[in-house]
């Protein structure tokens, strides 16, 4: 349904710098917001344009569904979470009612979230989130972005964004938002990332529309791949166990798959969460492994490997 706010009939950009200190972020996160208002009197489909460009079909999340999502993302006939990674921000003119075409959107408000598994360990360069509404309301954007470096066991806040109450016109036209997050000084927005979570926060009228989440970065190696051969298996376990409690020769090497410059239980847990279930089951009884228990588990895994070779 539409909201009544001051009318804007142009595209603009604003910058917000948020200081963030965490293991997955550096210095200051820059949020660059641009918005687009569809021309009055239009009908049918409408594709917003932005000075910095449109959505991507080659980013890390393209075509992925969340590994976990909480809440109702299909209010007023919206498509839901599939809309967030389909590479499109195309919308349509609405009439101000709930029956307007809302297929472009996933709806989200306080208490909702989406979580994505990247399928590898990445240094992230930028995150771009698109949203809005197609009939002059529910375009405000308010959320937390969090990252995980341990296959989703723990999350660290990267930044919080809020542009409430958003922008709109007095008549029903599509209102679209594009917000890009980068680091203001250093090469990476976040490092050693395995998972991304967006926690949606309270907005005017209860929920708002989101059309796309694009994540960009470079893969370091697959989660759990300690020997960097592209396969996560028992050999990676041996690398971790052989160097357990040691400082690696260089961060990220010698079993330091969490890349925190120490081979410890965090590396073991990331491997355990990344390896095939039949292998991980052998280590299930080792909650907080010590070098001796890791050696025992390693003997069991070696036996499994021998049986596989004989098979």
Domains observed in the chain: 12-221 (2.60.120.260), 234-310 (no CATH)
Q: Which of 37, 31, 30 is closest to 5 using CA atoms?
A: 37
**What mean pLDDT is predicted for residues 56-60?**
98
Long-range contacts, 273-276 (Cβ 8 Å, 24+)? 273/150, 273/151, 273/152, 273/153, 273/223, 273/224, 274/151, 274/222, 274/223, 274/224, 274/225, 274/232, 275/224, 275/232, 275/233, 275/234, 275/236, 275/237, 276/232, 276/233
User: pLDDT value at position 283?
Assistant: 65
Contacting residues for 246 by C-beta, under 8 A, at least 6 apart: 254, 262, 263
Helices 265-274, 234-242: inter-axial angle, 10-degree rounding: 180
Contacting residues for 311 by C-beta, under 8 A, at least 6 apart: none
Q: Which two tokens stand for residue 67?
A: 């590994």
Cα gap 261→122, rounded to integer Å: 17
pLDDT higher than 70, residue 287? no
Sign of CA dihedral 290, 296, 302, 307: negative
Cα gap 96→5, rounded to integer Å: 14
**What mean pLDDT is predicted for residues 46-69?**
97
Whole-prediction pTM: 0.78
Q: How many helices (H) and strands (E) does the chain have?
A: 4, 12
Q: pLDDT digit string (tens) for 157-207?
A: 999 999 998 876 778 899 999 999 999 988 999 999 989 999 999 998 899
Cβ-count burial 169-203 (b if 16+ within 10 Å, e if not): beebbbbbbbbbbbbeeeebbbbbbbbbbbbbbeb
Cα gap 292→196, rounded to integer Å: 34
Query: Which tops the pLDDT comparison, 57 or 16?
Result: 57
Q: pLDDT digit string (tens) for 208-252?
A: 999 999 999 999 988 899 999 999 988 999 899 999 999 998 878
**What mean pLDDT is predicted for residues 147-153?**
88
User: pLDDT value at position 234?
Assistant: 86
Cα gap 304→233, rounded to integer Å: 11
Neighbours of 257 (CB within 10 A): 36
Q: Which two tokens stand for residue 36?
A: 């687009």
Range scoring the smallest mean pLDDT among 137-141, 143-147, 198-202: 137-141
Q: pLDDT digit string (tens) for 14-41?
A: 444 444 433 344 469 999 999 999 998 8
Query: Which tops the pLDDT comparison, 155 or 258?
Result: 155
Query: Which tops the pLDDT comparison, 259 or 181?
Result: 181
Cα 38 to the chain's mean position, in Å?
28
- Do the beta carbons of residue 37 and residue 162 sit within 8 Å? no
Cα gap 169→220, rounded to integer Å: 45
Q: What is the mean pLDDT of the chain?
A: 84
User: pLDDT value at position 193?
Assistant: 93
Range scoring the smallest mean pLDDT among 20-24, 70-74, 108-112, 204-208: 20-24
User: pLDDT value at position 10?
Assistant: 38
């Amino acid at each position: 349904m539409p909201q009544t706010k001051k009318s804007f009939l142009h595209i603009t950009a604003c910058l917000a710098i948020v200081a963030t200190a965490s293991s997955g972020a550096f210095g200051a996160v820059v949020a660059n917001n641009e918005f687009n208002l569809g021309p009055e009197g239009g009908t049918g489909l409408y594709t917003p344009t932005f000075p910095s460009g449109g959505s991507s079909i080659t980013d890390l999340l393209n075509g992925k569904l969340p590994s976990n999502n909480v809440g109702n993302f299909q209010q007023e006939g919206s498509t839901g979470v599939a809309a967030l990674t389909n590479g499109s921000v195309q919308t349509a003119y609405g009439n101000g009612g709930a029956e307007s075409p809302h297929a472009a959107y996933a709806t989200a408000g306080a208490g909702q979230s989406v979580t994505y598994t990247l399928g590898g360990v990445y240094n992230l360069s930028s995150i771009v989130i698109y949203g809005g509404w197609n009939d002059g309301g529910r375009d405000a954007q308010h959320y937390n972005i969090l990252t995980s470096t341990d296959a989703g066991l723990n999350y660290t806040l990267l930044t919080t964004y809020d542009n409430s109450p958003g922008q709109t016109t007095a008549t029903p036209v599509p209102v679209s938002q594009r917000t890009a997050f980068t680091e203001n000084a250093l090469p990476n927005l976040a490092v050693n990332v395995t998972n991304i979570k967006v926690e949606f926060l309270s907005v005017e009228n209860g929920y708002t529309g989101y059309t796309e989440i694009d994540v960009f970065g470079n893969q370091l190696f697959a989660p759990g791949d300690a020997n960097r051969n592209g396969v996560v298996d028992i050999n990676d376990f041996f690398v971790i166990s052989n160097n357990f409690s040691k400082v690696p020769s260089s961060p990220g090497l010698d079993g330091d798959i969490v890349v925190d410059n120490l081979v410890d239980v965090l590396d073991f847990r990331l491997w355990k969460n990344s390896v095939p279930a039949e292998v991980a089951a052998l280590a299930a009884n080792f909650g907080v492994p010590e070098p001796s228990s890791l050696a025992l588990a390693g003997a069991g895994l070696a036996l499994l490997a021998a049986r596989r070779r004989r098979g």
